[in-house]
Structure 1
Amino acid sequence: MSLHFPAEGRNYLLNVGVHGGAQVTTWYIALFEGDYTPQEDDAAANIGARATEITAYSQTTRPEFVESAAVGGATDNEASVAQFTLTAPKTVRAFGLLSAAGKGAATGTLLAFQRLSSPRSYDVGDVIKVPTSLTLSNPVT
């Protein structure tokens, strides 16, 4: 499985890393239940409706993505894995990294989206842990 970086996410990385644009200092993880395939024009403004964001969890906001410093072109949240405690039965099909903290928010930036290889079903009270890693690599030649 690899993360899908839509145009909005790639533009953000280039604008900040190369063009000197404003940096987002905190990213958040969102879960999705819709049977949805990532698209090039996915954005924070439309991903919640397209992929059906899950907001039935006890945390008051989307959990923060607390990443380690990048090494070898990669970073992850292994030291502080994001957690969701469900308040309704749900089937998780994807997750995304967004700049807005609000559950279901359609603002900010969608950095990346990951469709899971197979859906996973959970019940009320289940704690979902979402380890996330970001890797930038050159194409294989």
Structure 2
Amino acid sequence: MNGKVTISEKVEAQVVRNLTVKSCINLTAHWEWEHFRAGKLIDQWEYDNVCTAEGLNAMLDIMFHAATQITTWYVEIFETDTTPADGTTYAVPVYTPSTAYDEATRPEYVEAAASTKSITNSANKAVFTISATKIIYGAALVGGGTAPTTKGDVAGGGTLFSGSKFAASKSVVDNDVLNVTITITLADS
């Protein structure tokens, strides 16, 4: 008897990789300023603002958690040399809001409907008619709460959506006019 024994090996291999799906959404609050004195444009500047955790959480809650919508937003300027950050809030803004302008209330952010992933008030700029000699260091977009129109309010329980210090402070005098256009853009990258 002649027996043959066949020996074989079976090797299997499998490469396992985690599937990574990466999606980023960039949110930008872009501010454009015009500074007029005696009817003449004397300065222009623009920059992007930080969107605060308070503002982003409000946006998520309104869009995805049925929170009450903030229907009107307001622009405020500030007169202290401080820099808002992610943790800056309406109640603790780290800056002193300026009330040195002729308008009785904070100027409204009157935006048009979103288009091409952006929303802007370019057709209805917020206007500050300055009422005293001051140095203005930055601005913020606020809304909601019990007193969002009140100049200088920090106790009304509102939301600070975005805020930023200017690259360079701006000296203003009585009757200077500051016009601001804010464009908020959401884009995937």
Q: Same fold (TM over 0.5)?
A: yes
Corresponding position: 1:103 with 2:147: no
Does structure 1 residue 123 correspond to structure 2 residue 187? no
Moved more, 124-133 or 5-14: 124-133
Give the match's secondary structure for 1:2: strand
Which of the residues 45, 69, 73 maps onto 1:23?
69
Tell me the secondary structure at the aligned position of residue 128 of structure 2: strand
Q: Does 1:8 align with 2:68?
A: no
Provide, for residues 92-132 of structure 1, a one-character-per-residue CA deviation record: whole Å limited to 9, x for no partner: 22111111111011121111112222211111111111111
Structure with a larger share of its residues in strand? 2
Note the C-alpha offset of 1:12: 0.4
Gaps of 5+ in 1: none
Give the TM-score taking structure 2 as reference length: 0.69
Distance 1:110 1:4 in 2: 11
Relative to structure 1, is the Cα distance of residues 85 and 40 closer, same or farther in structure 2, using a 3 angstrom cutoff?
same
Could you tell me how far apart the structure 2 residues matched to 1:117 and 1:73 are? 27
Structure with bigger gyration radius: 2
SS at 1:131 equivalent:
strand
In structure 2, distance between residues paired with 1:64 and 1:82: 6
What SS does structure 2 have at the residue aligned with 1:115? strand
Q: Moved runs in structure 1, 4+ residues, more than 3 A?
A: none
What is the deviation of 1:138? 3.2
- Deviation string 1:3-47 (CA, Å, 9 cap, x unpaired) is 211110000000001111100110000001211122222111011
* More helix by percentage: 1
Secondary structure of residue in 2 paired with 1:3 = strand
The gaps in structure 2 that reach 5 residues or longer are: 1-46
Q: Which residue of 1 aligns with 2:125?
A: 81
Mean Cα deviation higher: 20-29 or 71-80: 71-80
Contact 1:27–1:98, Cα closer than 8 Å, also in 2: yes
One-letter amino acid of the counterpart of residue 89, structure 1: T
Q: Is the 8 A contact 1:3 1:134 kept in 2?
A: no
Paired positions, count: 137
| Corresponding residue SS for 2:65 | coil
Deviation of residue 77 (structure 1)?
0.7
- Equivalent in the alignment of 2:81: 35
- Sequence identity (%): 35
